[in-house]
């Protein structure tokens, strides 16, 4: 499944980010801790060029902690290693559940270590960019210590740039989430879809749920057993989807399983963390 979802506001946002980039001192690139590779947008890599960059892995409260540790090591090595990005830091955060002051300290320290304000300014300008629905605006509110940006659990909540000032003077620019015109890698597209970066209306919903079911069965069967009270593990993704439908009463008249409803249950149990802490990819893959 390749996914194409590149609405007009995204095209505009990409242009606006390119125009604003030269005046920025540091880029905060927001990645999804459950899939740091799939959520690393090649357009963002191109747009930020050689700017110093702090990579923030959000939603780490939803990700498998061991896998997140492995990602941090991997990304730090990539940042420091030969041929790597010249100036970078990596931070993993659970923006909605960590203590806000900790998140602020870690990000401001990381930015402070990298960003030298240019052109006679005394405070740095930081631009926050990443894929849709990854938690950019939530991070802006946490850093600014007030609710300045709208947040919501769907892609494309932020439609244009918003600049806010932190108490320490640093200027933060929140931006609309951007994807790239055609996501060719089908596995990456499915991970992004499952994680909520693409509107459900643009998806083959059952296909996304079956993909998730396969990952959960392969790597987190104990979480499935607990959540759905399974005594034996379904043989494959298809069987799991039907079993979830049966257990959750997703039935059509006549008693057949409503596959769309069952897909909805499975996808949202993953997104909300009700299934447990799950990572969709590992650095060594
Ligand atoms: N569990 C968890 N949820 C988070 C975290 N950060 C953000 N969220 C949730 O993710 C959803 C999206 O957050 P936003 O801040 O609106 O994301 P965004 O990147 O600004 O999205 P767009 O503006 O649509 O591109 C919201 O429901 C947030 O509550 C986190 O660290 N952990
Ligand atoms: Mg936003």
Q: How confident is the model at residue 122 (pLDDT cuts 50, 70, 90)?
A: low
Mutate to test the pocket of ligand 1, among 96, 104, 156, 268 (most ligand atoms within 8 A of CB): 96
Interval between CA 76 and ligand 1 midpoint (Å): 24
CA dihedral 239, 258, 274, 54 (to 10 degrees): 90
The proportion of the chain whose per-residue pLDDT surpasses 90, expressed as a percent, equals 77
Q: Per DSSP, which regions of the chain are E strands?
A: 26-32, 53-58, 88-92, 125-130, 162-165, 171-174
Q: What is the mean pLDDT of the chain?
A: 92
Overall average pLDDT of the 81-93 stretch: 69
The ligand whose atoms approach the alpha carbon of 135 most closely is: 1
pLDDT of residue 88: 79
Q: What confidence tens digit (pLDDT) does each residue in 166-203 have?
A: 998 999 999 999 999 888 899 999 999 999 999 988 88
Overall average pLDDT of the 48-75 stretch: 94
Res. 86: pLDDT tops 70: no
Interval between CA 55 and ligand 2 midpoint (Å): 17
- Atom 26 of ligand 1: nearest residue by CA position: 153
Count of all residues that appear for the chain in the document = 285
**30 or 121: which carries more pLDDT confidence?**
30
pLDDT of residue 215: 98
Q: How confident is the model at residue 3 (pLDDT cuts 50, 70, 90)?
A: confident
Domains of the chain: 8-174 (3.40.50.300), 204-271 (1.10.1580.10)
Q: What confidence tens digit (pLDDT) does each residue in 256-273 have?
A: 999 999 999 999 999 999
Interval between CA 242 and ligand 2 midpoint (Å): 35
155 CA closest ligand 1 atom index: 24
d(CA 127, CA 20): 9
pLDDT of residue 76: 86
30 CA closest ligand 1 atom index: 19
CB environment 144-176: b (16+ within 10 A), e (fewer): beeebbebeeebbbbeebbebebeeebbbbbbb
The ligand whose atoms approach the alpha carbon of 162 most closely is: 2
- Atom 27 of ligand 1: nearest residue by CA position: 153
Overall average pLDDT of the 38-57 stretch: 93
Q: Taking a C-beta distance cutoff of 8 angstroms, is the pair 154, 143 a contact?
A: no
pLDDT of residue 115: 72
Mutate to test the pocket of ligand 1, among 7, 61, 135, 276 (most ligand atoms within 8 A of CB): 135
Q: Residue 2: which of 262, 217, 237, 180 has the closest Cα? A: 180
Q: How confident is the model at residue 83 (pLDDT cuts 50, 70, 90)?
A: low
- Which residues does a 6 A CB cutoff place in the pocket of ligand 1? 58-59, 61-62, 94-96, 132-138, 151-153, 155-158, 176-177
pLDDT of residue 252: 94
pLDDT of residue 79: 62
Q: How confident is the model at residue 87 (pLDDT cuts 50, 70, 90)?
A: low
């Amino acid at each position: 499944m390749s996914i194409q979802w590149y609405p007009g506001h995204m095209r505009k946002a990409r242009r606006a980010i390119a125009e604003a980039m030269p005046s920025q001192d540091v880029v905060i690139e927001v990645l999804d801790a459950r899939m740091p590779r799939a959520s690393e947008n090649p357009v963002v890599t191109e747009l930020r060029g050689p700017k110093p960059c702090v990579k923030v892995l959000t939603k780490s409260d939803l990700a498998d902690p061991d896998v997140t540790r492995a990602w941090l090591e991997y990304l730090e090595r990539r940042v420091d290693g030969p041929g790597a990005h010249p100036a970078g830091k990596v931070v993993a955060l659970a923006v909605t559940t960590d203590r806000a002051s900790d998140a602020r300290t870690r990000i401001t320290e990381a930015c402070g270590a990298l960003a030298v304000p240019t052109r006679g300014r005394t405070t740095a300008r930081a631009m926050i960019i990443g894929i849709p629905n990854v938690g950019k605006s939530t991070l802006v509110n946490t850093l600014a210590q007030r609710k300045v940006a709208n947040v919501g659990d769907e892609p494309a909540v932020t439609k244009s740039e918003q600049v806010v000032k932190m108490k320490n003077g640093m200027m933060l620019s929140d931006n609309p989430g951007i994807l790239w015109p055609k996501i060719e890698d089908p596995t990456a597209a499915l991970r992004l879809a499952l994680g909520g970066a693409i509107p459900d209306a643009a998806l083959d919903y059952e296909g996304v749920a079956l993909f998730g079911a396969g990952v959960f069965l392969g790597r987190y069967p104990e979480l499935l057993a607990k959540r759905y009270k399974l005594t034996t593990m379904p043989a494959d993704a298809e069987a799991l989807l039907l079993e979830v439908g049966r257990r959750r009463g997703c039935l059509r008249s006549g008693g057949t399983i409503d596959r769309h409803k069952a897909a909805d249950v499975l996808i949202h149990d993953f997104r909300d963390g009700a299934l447990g802490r799950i990572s969709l990819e590992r650095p060594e893959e």
